[in-house]
Amino acid sequence: METAESLLEEIVDLKKKLTQKEAMLRKHLNQKYEETESGPEKLTNIEIDKYSRQIIMPEIGMKGQQTLKKSSVLIVGAGGLGCPSALYLTGAGIGRIGIVDYDKVKLNNLHRQLLHPETSAGQPKVFSAVESLNRLNSFVQIIPYDMKMDRSNALNTVRKYDVVIDATDNVATRYLLNDACVLTSRPLVSGSALKLEGQLSVYNYSNGPCYRCLFPVPPPPETVTNCGDGGVLGAVPGVIGVLQALETVKILLGHKGVLSKRLLLFDGSDCSFRNVCLRDRIPSCCVCGNQPSVTALVDYEHFCGAMANDKHTKIHLLDDTDRIQAEVYHGLCTQPHILIDVRSPLEFEICHLPKSLNVPLKDLVLEQVIQQLKESIAEKCSSDNDFPVFVVCRRGNDSQKGVLALRKALHGLRVSVRDIIGGLHSWAKDVDPSFPVY
């Protein structure tokens, strides 16, 4: 009788055999391709059949498909935007596609990063992407760059490709890619997506503006929200990523109507698209202007005051004495106290600690809320010692802000307000591994 262990072993063995067979198939197809082609841009019979539905379009034709085959595209980011872009560019028959990413596949990204299966969790994104794309089209060369794009490697990487797609959606890399594309004379197809909204534009193309023409100064880091904090519906970056692929194909084929000097705004709540006209290239721009002052890449994390990724950034607003570890709180939670969870009601509904009060951070300035807290403290306080009030959030940033707000609001009361370091993530890691993490 087969056991679960034996079935798992058999599945692993079958997967290995499948990978070997796929590699043999790709080799066979590549040999056939080499045997039948008479020039680097000539299409094989298999390719003509494969791309026939777009070849018969007057906007493409055989010449256009051959152009795509000779072309190259660099996709920076193998996430929510990069996955759909890579899928459709690979399907379109772009000759060479480079994919840059240094992150690993994570389960909480797979609702929108559809190149990566669950079985790839923990693997580098670029290798997971290459494996999926090779299965889709063996005629396209997919080159992985398992690295962080920075000023030391950006120029040498960008200049190897005809068009660059910014699929990173973080400010520091956006400026880095803009400057690298200007310095190497490459068009930049830039997209972003958050919640139910997306944006798309093409920079440094056909005398249009570069990103710095529009935003010479980066936004304050605290005003920037990423998908990990604000959330995103998976289909929204899918829409923007597919449109990035479309604009890239139009650029490679020299078509009119490229989204330069315009910004496309997509609102998924009512499925509306708007085009906003952008200013022309600024002659005084420090990068693409007539007399540029930026002639080499700089430290963009320092310039933007933010890391070149969308990872969670820890803030430090409190002294160590004003904070406690999750394990320490666990030892105190049976004693009289109040635990305030400053996350939104939606997040509180996902998971929360027992007996915690949900008071969103923005509500800590409301008189009614503070009065209710004062009454609750008065009911539970039974000694002359400072009554303990603890604040928790998802990761330990907003809870620090909550401590500062509560200290101001509860001034004059005998209370001790502290936050839980690392928030609910630390609780799940150090106290209760079964606690949900999102």
Residue 276 maps to a domain: yes
170 is in an annotated binding site: yes
187 plus 58 within the same structural domain: yes
- Do 161 and 241 lie in one domain? The reply is yes
* Residue 285, annotated as binding a ligand: yes
Exposed e or buried b per residue across 412-436, where buried means at least 16 C-beta atoms within 10 angstroms of its C-beta = ebebebbbbbbbbbbbbeebeeeee
Which of 304, 338, 355 terminates a domain? The answer is 304
Is 350 found in the same domain as 256? no
Confidence class for position 383, pLDDT limits 50, 70, 90: low
pTM, two decimals, is 0.76
Residues 310-333 have a mean pLDDT of 90
Active-site residue, from 83, 181, 304, 393: 393
The answer to whether residues 288 and 342 belong to one domain is no
For range 92-112, the mean pLDDT: 96
Domain range for 128: 43-304
Q: Are residues 289 and 330 in the same domain?
A: no
Catalytic member of 181, 227, 304, 351: 227
Q: What is the pLDDT of residue 34?
A: 41
- Mean pLDDT in residue range 313-340: 93
- CATH assignment of the domain containing 347: 3.40.250.10
Residue for token pair 């009119």: 256
pLDDT digits over 143-187, tens only? Answer: 999 999 999 999 999 999 999 999 997 999 999 999 999 999 999
Q: Is 333 annotated as a binding residue?
A: no
Same domain, 258 and 378: no
80 is in an annotated binding site: yes
> Average pLDDT of 319-331?
96
> Looking at residue 102, what is its pLDDT?
95
pLDDT of amino acid 91: 98
Question: 90 in helix, strand or coil?
Answer: helix
Based on the fold, state whether residues 75 and 48 are members of the same structural domain: yes
Residues 288/210, Cβ–Cβ less than 8 Å: yes
- Which of 338, 337, 344, 380 lies closest to 359, judged by CA? 344
Residue environment code for 24-36, b if the CB has 16+ CB neighbours within 10 A, otherwise e: eeeeeeeeebeee
CA distance 400 to 396: 7
Annotation says 381 is catalytic: no
Domain identity same for 330 and 297: no
Asked whether residue 373 is domain-assigned, the answer is yes
If asked whether residues 365 and 283 sit together in one domain, one would say: no
Q: For the residues 373-401, what does the mean pLDDT come to?
A: 89
Q: Give pLDDT, residue 28.
A: 60
Q: Are residues 341 and 299 in the same domain?
A: no
Boundary of a domain, candidates 252, 276, 304:
304
Residues 335 and 268 both lie in one domain: no
Q: In this predicted model, what pLDDT tens digit does every residue of 24-53 receive, in sequence order? A: 765 565 444 343 333 456 899 999 999 999
Residue 199 in domain: yes
CATH code assigned at 82: 3.40.50.720
How many whole angstroms separate alpha carbon 429 and alpha carbon 61?
Answer: 57
Average pLDDT of the segment spanning 279-287? 95
Answer yes or no: do 176 and 67 share one domain.
Answer: yes
How many domains is the chain partitioned into structurally?
A: 2
Average pLDDT over residues 60-79: 98
- 271 included as an active-site residue: no
Stretch 395-407: mean pLDDT: 95
